[in-house]
Amino acid sequence: MEKTLPLQEQPCPARPASKPRNAIVGVLFPLAVAAYFLFPSSLPQIPFRSSDVSSQAPKCAQPAALFPRDSGDELSRAYDHVSTESFRNGTIARLSGAVRIPTESFDNMGAIGEDKRWDIMYDFAEYLKNTFPRIHKDLKTETVNTHGLVYTWEGSDSSLKPTLLMAHQDVVPVPDATKDAWTHPPFDGVYDGSYVWGRGASDCKNQLIAIMETVELLLDAGYKPKRTIVLSFGFDEEISGRQGAGHLAPFLFDRYGTNGIAAAVDEGATFETAWGQLFAKPGVGEKGYTDVSVIVRMPGGHSSIPSDHTSIGVASELIRAIEAEQYPAHLTDDNPYLGQLYCGAEHAPEFPKKLSKLLGSRAKSSSMCPASKKKPDYLALEAAKQGPAVKYLMQTSQAVDVITGGVKVNALPERTEVVVNHRINVGETPETAFSHLTSLAKPLAKKYNLTLHAFDGTAEAPMSISLSKSPNTLAVAPVTPTDVDIVSPYAVLAGTVRAVYGEDVVVAPGIMTGNTDTRYYWNVTKHIFRFGPGYDSQLDDGLGNIHTVDEKVSVTNHVNAVRWFMLFVRNMDEAVLEE
């Protein structure tokens, strides 16, 4: 059975003792009746309150569609050109060409300059140079840590913080064993009349090419930005980004300082139809991350005279305990998914009545008394019934992904290692996982007379269970503000979405369960959006089979992303931002 823990709601503290209620009512009720008939206008007006969220003040206001005011003839023609067959054919060719360059990044990559697998990035950089000549002629172009790419279009007003557009050049490797399962070869960049197929087509060379198309078109149209525009492209996002974004972010921080960037847009969440309503869901937060290594060391020996329990058996017992007890589902006030629930309650025609009632109860109780950790979070538990994709927006996940142990069939395993991956829920920390795993390992260590070394930095030793965290442990990301009642970057983004796709689209805050290159940019800007702005209403395939066989992207989706970036850049340029 799944263990349930905390809840936000807490019973209000008991009131001090007072006079018996019946006695007070006996005195006040006749007076109230008399006052009502004699002096009705003098009584305070008490508003009606309902537990339904619809009775509360709106929590998901939607800005109007936002179009740039300064639209000269050349800029209008450039924007209209994106919808032409000529541009469509050209961008198909440019995206397909990018997909044909196999910029795979592998978990065991060696040092840059030594491991020849990095050298494919030179080919990709040369492709961009040849494909987008105006950018490389007119913008400041810099490389960071050899393969990181930074393009800077200086604005005319240095007092305005820059707009940062991000993507990554690398792609997930394609295992040789799966190549024959692809409809089209993974690095051929085939266009079939609707989709461009291939590794990286939707993760995320489409976004990178859309950004480059946008800047090239604006340059050709003679656009002169007031706000500086910066493009930053990492090259190892798929293996945690330490060599790419891990160097690019400090480079930009040195140049612009703390919160020196107005807003950053990177790959991320897209569009989703839920409860009968189309939502755009820019990721304004990310879960935290940690891998925990569990090493069990026990005596070896010949398998013909085995011990009752081997290191593999003990590790398996711990795995069973881990999987038997999931982390609790709960929603803190700053979890972006709570914002999506409010958006659903206010705008979606099929939003479940039970969820709406729970939202209303939460809004009412949270304004009356502090949070509680003594009750289950009934709102989160009800929302989690929609499936794992929703459940893990509100719950720390755990997955036993790697196990190694034993070297020979007739030799008892002296060492077994298990790696457990965690994505940390908003409102928790990696220490939540460390404490939980320690509590599970402690009784096992005692049971088998093993020494427990839990996150104490001690090297593994004989007859022990050792727990250690990975070096890429990451706290939960700061949540981007989502104000729309002021001129905020989020309001600009939402207004741009509604300009491109119409005001029937509801923009709601999203949360990423994975991590993007933005993990390195937290001190560069408070306004980070992990968002894929392309959408195709006829061929809506979500994220387009990223990281698996038959990755692809709809060309309409890709063209719409170019349209969005063209408007967003100009809308940001004109915005007088309030922070």
3-state secondary structure of 292: strand
Is 247 within 8 Å of 272 (Cβ atoms)? no
Determine the Cα–Cα distance for residues 121 and 53; give it in Å rounded to an integer: 52
Which member of 104, 213, 236, 237 is catalytic?
237
Tracing tokens 């990492």 back to the chain, one arrives at 234
Determine the Cα–Cα distance for residues 94 and 88; give it in Å rounded to an integer: 10
Kindly report the number of other CB atoms within 10 A of residue 357's CB atom. Answer: 17
Is 403 within 8 Å of 283 (Cβ atoms)? no
Tracing tokens 């087509």 back to the chain, one arrives at 201
Q: Walk across the sheet containing 415-424 and list its strands.
A: 397-405, 415-424, 288-297, 464-469, 451-454
Q: Is 422 annotated as a binding residue?
A: no
Q: Is 119 annotated as a binding residue?
A: no
Kindly report the number of other CB atoms within 10 A of residue 401's CB atom. Answer: 10
Q: Is 377 annotated as a binding residue?
A: no
Q: Is 203 annotated as a binding residue?
A: yes
Which member of 9, 170, 536, 551 is catalytic?
170
Instruction: Give me the half-sphere count of Cα atoms (radius 13 Å) on the Cβ side of residue 7.
Output: 19
Strands 271-274 and 277-280: antiparallel
**Active site annotation includes 114:** no
H/E element holding 421? strand 415-424
Determine the Cα–Cα distance for residues 129 and 62; give it in Å rounded to an integer: 40
Q: Which residues contact 36 (CB under 8 A, 6 or more apart)?
A: 43
H/E element holding 378? helix 378-383
Phi-psi region of 427 (alpha: psi -120 to 50; beta: other; left: phi over 0): left
Q: Is 238 annotated as a binding residue?
A: yes
**Active site annotation includes 237:** yes
Catalytic sites, residue numbers: 170, 237
* Feature table: binding site for Zn(2+): 168, 203, 238, 266, 547
* Feature table: binding site: 168, 203, 238, 266, 547
